């Protein structure tokens, strides 16, 4: 088993413990904010407050899913981790192109250079600039995972090149590729494509699957190949109830895929209690959703699998 890279250094897989596998806890005000005002989490005292509550509820680690050049706050993530004691695995890679300015380098940088950039962020340190011009100021804070985004239009145009760079970076570093799956996109074609590029199925995590794909057969097809699914439509009642979420998880556990499921909240500013008193907060799974799982017949052992053992195996 290899070490897991956090913003404060490498840790052994068993040190990960309770981990939510797709969160946002720091996000500077930029193009993401212009697209959606909830995509700005720039008051660090509030981020710290959320992480401290998470820690005292039993949370130990999170994966931060904001990639380079896209309002990521690498230095702040390290400080938040040191101050809160929560381990943070940061992301390199790319997001949906709508989150970048029109003339951004992510749209044009040739694949070999893009691959090198992702690899440098994973092996040396993340850049602290790059939201507008090509990144030049590198920190020694390493990213631990490669974020990607599969938009509605699928593997067309620039996305084919971006996924190729992510796949090459993963092959060179053995780091996991996490994939934002947009509602309405069919991720089976992408999985096949990435497997053909030589990525191991267990190095792929398909995110937001509980709201992106309504057809459970798609979930099973992805799982059958050995990849992980991440669910985060928890406490998001405009999409569906927690009861619906629990039923979906239960069906996949019954189908034999308990070792390939992880969960999170995919927080935005709107979902953090430090900003909005009635929001769910980063500790919602620990305070509310896990007790609901137990009440519906899930065992402690299964919950430990979803929240700690699976993330540790996935990342290592």
Q: Comparing C-alpha atoms, which of 163, 186, 1 is closest to residue 94?
A: 163
Q: Provide the 3-class DSSP secondary structure of residue 22.
A: strand
Minimal distance in Å, beta carbon 207 to Zn ion? 7
Centroid of chain to Cα 26:
13
Among positions 4, 38, 62, 65, the unique one binding Zn ion when judged by CB under 5 A: 65
Nearer to Zn ion, 121 or 230 (CB): 230
Stretch that binds Zn ion, among 67-75, 99-107, 122-130, 258-266 (CB under 5 A): 258-266
Minimal distance in Å, beta carbon 113 to Zn ion? 26
Does residue 39 bind Zn ion (CB under 5 A)? no
Among positions 50, 121, 230, 266, the unique one binding Zn ion when judged by CB under 5 A: 266
Q: How far apart are CA 81 and CA 63, in angstroms?
A: 12
Q: Comparing C-alpha atoms, which of 303, 225, 227, 254 is closest to residue 58?
A: 303
291 CB-near residues (< 8 Å, 6+ apart): none
Minimal distance in Å, beta carbon 284 to Zn ion? 16
Nearer to Zn ion, 65 or 190 (CB): 65
Nearer to Zn ion, 31 or 298 (CB): 31
- In order, the DSSP letters of 261-303 are EEE-----GGG-TTT-TTS--TTHIIIIIHHHHHHTT--HHHH
Stretch that binds Zn ion, among 75-83, 90-98, 159-167, 259-267 (CB under 5 A): 259-267
Stretch that binds Zn ion, among 170-178, 187-195, 222-230, 262-270 (CB under 5 A): 262-270
The strand pair at 9-11 and 4-6 is best described as antiparallel
């Amino acid at each position: 088993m290899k070490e897991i890279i956090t913003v404060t250094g490498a840790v052994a897989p068993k040190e990960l413990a309770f981990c939510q596998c797709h969160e946002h806890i720091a996000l500077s005000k930029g193009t993401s904010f212009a697209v959606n005002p909830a995509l700005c989490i720039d008051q660090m005292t509030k981020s710290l407050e959320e992480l401290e509550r998470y820690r005292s509820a039993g949370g130990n680690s999170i994966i931060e899913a904001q990639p380079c050049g896209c309002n990521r706050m690498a230095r702040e993530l390290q400080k938040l981790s040191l101050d809160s004691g929560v381990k943070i695995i940061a992301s390199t890679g790319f997001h949906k192109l709508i989150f970048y300015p029109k003339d951004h380098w992510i749209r044009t940088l040739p694949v070999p250079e893009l691959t090198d950039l992702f690899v440098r962020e994973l092996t040396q340190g993340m850049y602290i600039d790059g939201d507008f011009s090509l990144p030049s100021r590198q920190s020694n804070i390493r990213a631990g995972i490669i974020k990607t985004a599969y938009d509605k239009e699928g593997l067309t145009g620039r996305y084919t090149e971006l996924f190729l760079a992510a796949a090459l970076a993963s092959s060179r570093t053995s780091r996991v590729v996490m994939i934002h799956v947009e509602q309405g996109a069919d991720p089976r074609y992408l999985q096949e494509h990435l497997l053909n590029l030589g990525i191991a199925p267990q190095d792929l995590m398909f995110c937001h699957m509980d709201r992106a794909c309504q057809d459970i057969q798609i979930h099973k097809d992805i799982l059958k190949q050995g990849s992980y699914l991440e669910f985060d439509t928890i406490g998001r009642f405009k999409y569906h109830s927690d009861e619906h979420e629990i039923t979906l998880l239960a069906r996949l556990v019954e189908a034999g895929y308990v070792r390939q499921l992880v969960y999170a909240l995919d927080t935005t500013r709107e979902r953090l209690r430090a900003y909005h008193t009635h929001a769910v907060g980063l500790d919602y799974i620990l305070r509310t959703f896990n007790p609901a799982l137990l009440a519906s017949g899930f065992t402690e052992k299964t919950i430990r699998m979803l929240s700690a053992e699976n993330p540790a195996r996935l990342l290592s």
